[in-house]
């Protein structure tokens, strides 16, 4: 007996539709001002790094991700209970963002999928359930702002079968990526 897995809709990423999960990092609409004798424009306070303890440190990493197979089956999520985690693409290629709203007990309740415009990053708020990086290009690099400190800051959870979903990458790749 096979179980049918629903196909999840992928919406454009906006600050409004992502507000419950963290912050969208983008220049559009951001506070900015000139610095360095007018030769540089500073886009200020695009996001906040959340740290759970005074001894924690905000660290900067680089991640190189490879595209998952077609279609993507969303069968697990992860969260970082001790700090936020930000992903900023190092090129102008869109990527997917999958998050889960929480039920009262803090377990994932419903999946939500977004596609960036290629110039946006995301900062997952502390404790937000999300899928690991999902890219449309064959390979993509990200600057990642994360937390370093004592304690386990990664919880992975296999989704119940009725929560699992699929994303059809083919149409998204055709629409957003030139290969």
Q: What is the pLDDT of residues 88-144, one digit of tens each?
A: 999 999 999 999 988 777 778 899 999 999 999 999 999 999 999 999 999 999 999
- In terms of C-beta density within 10 A (0-12 exposed, 13-18 middle, 19 or more buried), how is residue 54 classed? exposed
pLDDT band at 176 (very low <50, low <70, confident <90, very high): confident
The answer to whether residues 109 and 128 touch, using CB atoms and an 8 Å cutoff, is no
What domain range is 159 assigned to?
A: 6-176
Let me know if residue 58 belongs to a domain: yes
Write down the pTM of the prediction. 0.92
Mean pLDDT of 57-80: 94
For CA atoms 171, 173, 177, 179, give the dihedral sign: negative
Q: What is the pLDDT of residue 169?
A: 87
In a domain, 81, yes or no: yes
User: How confident is the prediction for the chain on average, in pLDDT?
Assistant: 92
What's 117's domain CATH number?
Answer: 2.60.120.480
Judged by DSSP in three states, 175 sits in: helix
């Amino acid at each position: 007996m096979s179980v049918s897995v629903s196909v999840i809709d992928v919406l454009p990423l906006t600050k409004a539709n992502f507000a419950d999960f963290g912050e969208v990092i983008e220049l559009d609409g951001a506070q900015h001002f000139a610095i360095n004798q007018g030769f540089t424009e500073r886009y200020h306070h695009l996001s906040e790094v959340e740290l759970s303890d005074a001894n924690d440190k905000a660290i900067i990493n680089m991640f190189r991700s490879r595209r998952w197979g077609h279609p993507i089956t969303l069968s697990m999520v992860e969260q970082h209970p001790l700090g936020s985690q930000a992903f900023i693409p190092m090129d102008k290629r869109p990527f997917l963002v999958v998050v889960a709203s929480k039920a009262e007990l803090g377990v994932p309740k419903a999946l939500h999928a977004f596609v960036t415009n290629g110039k946006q990053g995301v900062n997952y708020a502390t404790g937000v359930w999300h899928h690991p990086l999902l890219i449309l290009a064959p390979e993509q690099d990200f600057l990642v702002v994360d937390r370093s400190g004592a304690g386990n800051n990664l919880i992975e959870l296999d989704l119940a079968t009725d929560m699992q979903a699929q994303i059809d990458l083919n149409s998204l790749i055709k629409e957003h990526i030139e290969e």
